[in-house]
Structure 1
Amino acid sequence: MTGAVVAGAVVGGTAVLGGCAASPTAPPSATARADVTRVTVRLDDADALDDVVAATWALGVEALREGEDDDGTVVSPSSLLTALAMLGEGAGDGHAPFDAALGAVGDERTDAVNALLAALARYEGDPALVAADKLPVVPMLHTAQQIVVDDDATPQRAFLDRLAAGYGAGVVVDDLATRSDALDEFARTHTGGLVPTSPITPDPNLVAVLQDAVVLAAAWKTPFDVALSGDQPFTVVGERVLVPTMEGEFDTAAVSADGWQAVRLPYRDDLVADLYLPPEGSAAADDPSAAEPTTLAGLSTALDDAAADRVLVRLPTIDLESTTDLMTLLAGLGIVGADLTGVVEGSAVQAVQQAVLQVDEEGTRAAAVTSVGVTESLRMPPPNQVVLDRPFLMVVRDTTTGWPVFLAEVLDPRAG
């Protein structure tokens, strides 16, 4: 198998394709590559890069809106887009919904996702670091892609070749009718154990499962002082409650626009966490996922351009775990029922993202597995302050490309 991401976060994407029943006794094969070498695309050569990044923001916010947990939701926009882009390689005549949702078409889309994944590879590391007692000073981020093929199925070779060339996806043969050992192993290995199993349900009609994983473990460039942490007020559905809260003063970027406040907490290199506090009294005040994706992307771009200032930040510790059903989202995009004859005869029937986000004084741990299944049928503060004492958003973002890797809505920090 290929490796997964490391750094306080983990995400996996899966697309399941339906077909014939598999033998219940056949063991999974060893991981194998299609007879095609992955060709890495440079950022400068990916003409559709900006359009795909914009589409990733839109998909991420839409996925966040599908969350139903009272404490909040965490998703991985980058993993969701990658998994759907992989599935789109086999869309055949049903490519239009993928083209519209993913920001680009054909080879231009493949090249853009290829380049974005390659840009993240500079954070390559061991997924097991996410479970270490101490977070790495240098961020660890690693992505992995694979396709698990049922032992009685024969997906189109051209599809497997495109996954290998564009995404570096390996191939595993397994019995998808009665067990999912390979799926579980991928999730467990490439999230450092934060996501121990795949959400895909074995089914005699499954013919293949596409998986994408990303895991992150990263210490803050400047950690919060534990001695300053304590219970502070936070607004939950109009009520002020006490929650564990971190506090620190940092030389960092902070901006305000149209009532929004945004502040940046950097890791090392170009990886950052941007925090967004909606305007009081706005539609996003109680439900931050109501924000427009362009608003969030614009705030992060403004932070890219802002000069560092001395900023006091109060931020609740975060311990989010969510399982988000994405079928309504995919149906709205027209992907459910789309022609996938470039892979096999089938349509998407399962789409779930499991995710974990843990934020404390030291840094960030996070993990997620995305699965899309297809079956046959009191000191003097500095002047600038950002006090996150009511529902807010957090994004982990690569500032080199602007690609949002993790996106979270924090509604009630007490739940962790």
Structure 2
Amino acid sequence: MRLDCLGQVCGLSLIGLLTLTSCGGGEDPRSTVTYEPASLSEAEALTDVVNATTRFGAESLSELAQSQNTVVSPASILLGLAMLAEGAQGPAAEELDGLLGAAGAERTAAFSALQAAVLEYDGDPALVQADELPETPVLHLANQLVLADSTSPDGEFIDVLAASFDAGVVTTDFGAADSQRLLDEWVNEHTGGLIEESAVETPNADLIFVLQNAILMAARWQTQFDPADTAEREFTTIDGDTVEAETMQQTLEAEYMEYDDTQVIRLPYAEAFAMDVVLPPEGSAPTDFTDQDWAAVDAAFASQERTMVELALPAVDLQTGEDLVALLQDLGGPETVAGNDLSLIDPAVEIDQLAHQAVLTVDEEGTVAAAVTEIAGVTSAPVDPPEAVEMTVDRPFALRIVHEETNWPLFMAAIFDPTED
């Protein structure tokens, strides 16, 4: 497994999330509620929240990619915003309800249930450093709220984060140098070293809180590619140029569909998760594929029989780092960014950063992917299978990694040139 993006694993042991000790702060006495996640059967707004996550992911790629390789984790971003919504009221709460697809207790239950469902495959994030991918997929997910030691948020806000999101709460002095180490070590640990540092820089005495979410996936293909069949193959970029891309090849039985001259294949991992690869028609960009198009894919794959496919798919190795504050404003969150209002967290706070980092490696053995979302608040002024079809991914394409039971999009990417990082 090629893990070119990996850094060194931070030498931390896994620690309990409800009673963490900060650098420059003490043990937080407010996070004493037991983690009790909702189940998928209890989550009435599940479909609405999954659809909202897919929509945000598709719109994010459309806004961010701009003919450049881009990977995001819609699940990570919206989990961060869902936790932020627990501390919102007024206009900010209304905006976040719209972005997240549900409101109040139904929203909380849906995100809590989705998190719990994928965490059935939780494991040690350090496993991504092994020479081989694990036999059973690992999906690690963690949440943390870091507070300025002078901040006193509403107790119910802290309780919901603990009970529904298993979010640890720590306090620190953001004006002290040690606060940077606190943020960096958490990011490094929960991504297995794939992402080494926090995107939030300290010391910064104006910081009031940082909400952190990390998600990490390591999974083998159900049907692996033979490295001996991998060869350089021409790939035509969006500009019409050609490059030689390292391309994996195999013939396999898989869920496959054709939709508006677009080819789509679902490649299952060993258990529970799958990657959907979308090859748009010539002249189209992968970012043209909307959430409505993804909904059509979901509907088709719900009953689609398997087809023999001769697949040629470029290997992928990329990383993305973006501040999504402007995107959040553009997609309907200006009042949230302005902090109108986030008074359950602090009476005078606005969003300074919505930092998102993501990495994705796809090769013959399987997939390793990780993402970190950090929301920083600062002080504010106020049948018998048919003959095999052919699918040669030799032009810009999109991909999505989903939890198969719910189609919750864990990662989405637009690949314009697989030879670029």
Same fold at TM > 0.5? yes
Once the 2 structures are TM-superposed, how far is the Cα of residue 181 of structure 1 from its aligned partner?
1.9
Deviating more after overlay: 173-182 vs 228-237: 173-182
Q: Give the aligned partner of residue 343 of structure 1.
A: 345
Bigger relative contact order (CA 8 A; separation at least 6): 1
Q: Give the aligned partner of residue 4 of structure 1.
A: none
Distance 1:223 1:382 in 2: 21
Q: Give the aligned partner of residue 227 of structure 1.
A: 228
Distance 1:298 1:31 in 2: 46
Q: Give the aligned partner of residue 414 of structure 2.
A: 409
Q: Give the aligned partner of residue 136 of structure 1.
A: 134
Conservation of the 8 A alpha-carbon contact between 1:273 and 1:396:
yes
Q: Give the aligned partner of residue 376 of structure 1.
A: 379
Q: Choose from 366, 376, 386 the match for 1:363.
A: 366
Conservation of the 8 A alpha-carbon contact between 1:32 and 1:172:
no
Q: CA RMSD in A?
A: 2.0
Conservation of the 8 A alpha-carbon contact between 2:30 and 2:155:
no
What stretches of structure 1 of length at least 5 have no aligned partner? 1-7, 10-24
Distance 1:26 1:295, change over 3 A: closer
Q: Give the aligned partner of residue 193 of structure 2.
A: 193
Q: Give the aligned partner of residue 243 of structure 1.
A: 245
**Does structure 1 residue 67 correspond to structure 2 residue 69?**
no
AA in 2 matched with 1:264: R
Once the 2 structures are TM-superposed, how far is the Cα of residue 152 of structure 1 from its aligned partner?
2.2
Q: Choose from 268, 271, 274 the match for 2:270.
A: 268
AA in 2 matched with 1:316: P
Once the 2 structures are TM-superposed, how far is the Cα of residue 301 of structure 1 from its aligned partner?
3.3
Once the 2 structures are TM-superposed, how far is the Cα of residue 71 of structure 1 from its aligned partner?
4.3
Conservation of the 8 A alpha-carbon contact between 2:23 and 2:182:
no
Which secondary structure does the structure 2 equivalent of 1:330 belong to? Answer: helix
Q: Choose from 37, 44, 47 the match for 2:41.
A: 44
Distance 1:61 1:26 in 2: 38
What stretches of structure 2 of length at least 5 have no aligned partner? 7-21, 381-385
Which secondary structure does the structure 2 equivalent of 1:274 belong to? Answer: strand
Distance 2:26 2:71 in 1: 33
AA in 2 matched with 1:324: E
Conservation of the 8 A alpha-carbon contact between 2:65 and 2:287:
no
Identity level (%): 40
Conservation of the 8 A alpha-carbon contact between 1:143 and 1:214:
yes
**Does structure 1 residue 320 correspond to structure 2 residue 325?**
no
Distance 1:30 1:194, change over 3 A: farther
Once the 2 structures are TM-superposed, how far is the Cα of residue 320 of structure 1 from its aligned partner?
0.8
Once the 2 structures are TM-superposed, how far is the Cα of residue 116 of structure 1 from its aligned partner?
0.4
Distance 1:176 1:289 in 2: 38
Which secondary structure does the structure 2 equivalent of 1:415 belong to? Answer: coil
Q: Give the aligned partner of residue 89 of structure 1.
A: 86
Conservation of the 8 A alpha-carbon contact between 1:304 and 1:399:
no
Conservation of the 8 A alpha-carbon contact between 1:216 and 1:365:
yes
Distance 1:32 1:382 in 2: 64
Conservation of the 8 A alpha-carbon contact between 1:312 and 1:382:
no
- Residue-by-residue CA offset, 1:327-359 (whole Å, 9 max, x unaligned): 111112222113101111211111121110000
Once the 2 structures are TM-superposed, how far is the Cα of residue 279 of structure 1 from its aligned partner?
2.0
Q: Choose from 388, 397, 413 the match for 1:392.
A: 397
AA in 1 matched with 2:400: V
Distance 2:211 2:175 in 1: 15
Conservation of the 8 A alpha-carbon contact between 2:142 and 2:215:
yes
Conservation of the 8 A alpha-carbon contact between 2:307 and 2:388:
no
Conservation of the 8 A alpha-carbon contact between 1:127 and 1:215:
yes
Conservation of the 8 A alpha-carbon contact between 1:137 and 1:221:
no
In the alignment of these two chains, the number of paired residues is 387
Once the 2 structures are TM-superposed, how far is the Cα of residue 174 of structure 1 from its aligned partner?
1.7
Distance 1:317 1:382, change over 3 A: farther
Which secondary structure does the structure 1 equivalent of 2:35 belong to? Answer: coil
Which secondary structure does the structure 1 equivalent of 2:106 belong to? Answer: helix
AA in 2 matched with 1:363: G
Q: Give the aligned partner of residue 19 of structure 1.
A: none
Once the 2 structures are TM-superposed, how far is the Cα of residue 371 of structure 1 from its aligned partner?
1.7
AA in 2 matched with 1:365: V
Distance 2:148 2:387 in 1: 60
Conservation of the 8 A alpha-carbon contact between 1:32 and 1:171:
no
Distance 2:418 2:342 in 1: 41
- Residue-by-residue CA offset, 1:37-94 (whole Å, 9 max, x unaligned): 1222111111000000000001112222343575400000101110000001010223
Once the 2 structures are TM-superposed, how far is the Cα of residue 411 of structure 1 from its aligned partner?
0.7
Distance 1:189 1:110, change over 3 A: same
Runs of 4+ in 1 over 6 A off after TM superposition: none
Which secondary structure does the structure 1 equivalent of 2:264 belong to? Answer: strand
Once the 2 structures are TM-superposed, how far is the Cα of residue 367 of structure 1 from its aligned partner?
1.2
Distance 2:29 2:124 in 1: 21
AA in 1 matched with 2:129: A
Distance 1:301 1:361 in 2: 28
Distance 1:216 1:31 in 2: 30
Distance 2:269 2:208 in 1: 41
AA in 2 matched with 1:376: T
